[in-house]
Structure 1
Amino acid sequence: MNKAVLSILVALPLAFVQSLLIAQESFPRTPSGKPDFSGNYDTSSLTPMNRPAEFGDREYYTAEEVKAISDGAANRLAYGDEPLDPDRSAPEAGANVGAYDGFWMNFGDSASAINGNYRTSIITYPENGRMPALTEEGKEKAAMRIPFEWPQEYTKGGAWWLEEPDVHPFDGPENLSLGTRCIYTGVASLPVTSLPYNNIKKVVQTEDYLMIYIEWNHWARIIRINDEEHKHVSHASYDGDSIAWWEGDTLVVETVNILNEAPREVADRRIVERFSRNDDGGIVYGYTVEDANYTDSYSAEVSWRLTDKEPYEFACHEGNHAMAGILA
Structure 2
Amino acid sequence: MLTINKNKSIRRHQQLLVLLMLAGLSAAVSAQDIPRTASGQPDLQGIWSNGTQTPLQRPARLGEQRVMSAEEALTLQQSAQQREQQSFAPSDPNRPPPTDGNTAAAYNTFWLDRGTQVVQIDGEYRTSMIIDPPDGQIPFREGAPEQNLMEHWRDLHGDDAFLGPEMATIGERCLLFYDFRTSNSSAGPPMMPIIYNNNYQIVQTENYVMIMAEMMHDARIIRLHGAHLPPDVHKWMGDSVGRWEGDTLVVTTRNMHPQQSHYGSGPGLEVTERLRMVSAEEIVYSFTMNDPVAYTQPWTAEMVLHARPAGERIYEYACHEGNYALPGILAGKRRQEQDEVAF
TM interval, shorter chain, is: 0.7 to 0.9
The whole-number CA distance in structure 2 between the counterparts of 1:199 and 1:20 is 25
Would you say 1:54 and 2:52 are equivalent positions?
no
Shift of 1:261: 1.1
Alpha-carbon distance change, 79 to 176 in structure 1, aligned in 2, over 3 angstroms: farther
Alpha-carbon distance change, 32 to 280 in structure 1, aligned in 2, over 3 angstroms: closer
- After TM superposition, the structure 1 = structure 2 runs for residues 278-297 of structure 1, keeping only pairs within 5 Å, are 278-279=278-279, 281-291=281-291, 292-297=293-298
State the match for 1:304 in structure 2: 305
Alpha-carbon distance change, 296 to 99 in structure 1, aligned in 2, over 3 angstroms: farther
Alpha-carbon distance change, 297 to 266 in structure 1, aligned in 2, over 3 angstroms: closer
Answer whether contact 2:288 2:299 (CA < 8 A) is retained.
yes
Which of 166, 169, 180 does residue 161 from structure 2 map onto? 169
Alpha-carbon distance change, 22 to 90 in structure 1, aligned in 2, over 3 angstroms: closer
The whole-number CA distance in structure 2 between the counterparts of 1:320 and 1:134 is 39
Secondary structure at 2:75 match in 1: helix
Answer whether contact 2:284 2:305 (CA < 8 A) is retained.
yes
Unaligned runs of 5+ in 1: 1-18, 150-165
State the match for 2:259 in structure 1: 261
Would you say 1:187 and 2:188 are equivalent positions?
no
Alpha-carbon distance change, 147 to 318 in structure 1, aligned in 2, over 3 angstroms: farther
- CA-based RMSD of the aligned residues comes to 2.8
State the match for 1:251 in structure 2: 249
Amino acid in the other structure paired with 2:267: A
The whole-number CA distance in structure 2 between the counterparts of 1:112 and 1:22 is 17
Which of 224, 229, 233 does residue 231 from structure 1 map onto? 229
What's the TM-score once normalised by structure 1's chain length?
A: 0.80
Unaligned runs of 5+ in 2: 1-25, 178-183, 332-343
State the match for 1:9 in structure 2: none
Secondary structure at 1:220 match in 2: strand
The whole-number CA distance in structure 1 between the counterparts of 2:117 and 2:266 is 36
State the match for 1:201 in structure 2: 200
The whole-number CA distance in structure 1 between the counterparts of 2:123 and 2:266 is 39
Alpha-carbon distance change, 321 to 253 in structure 1, aligned in 2, over 3 angstroms: same
Shift of 1:184: 1.2
The whole-number CA distance in structure 1 between the counterparts of 2:150 and 2:29 is 51
Identity fraction in percent? 36
Alpha-carbon distance change, 96 to 241 in structure 1, aligned in 2, over 3 angstroms: closer
What's the TM-score once normalised by structure 2's chain length?
A: 0.77
The whole-number CA distance in structure 1 between the counterparts of 2:86 and 2:29 is 43
- After TM superposition, the structure 1 = structure 2 runs for residues 84-95 of structure 1, keeping only pairs within 5 Å, are 84-92=91-99, 94-95=100-101
Aligned residues: 290
State the match for 2:19 in structure 1: none
Would you say 1:96 and 2:105 are equivalent positions?
no
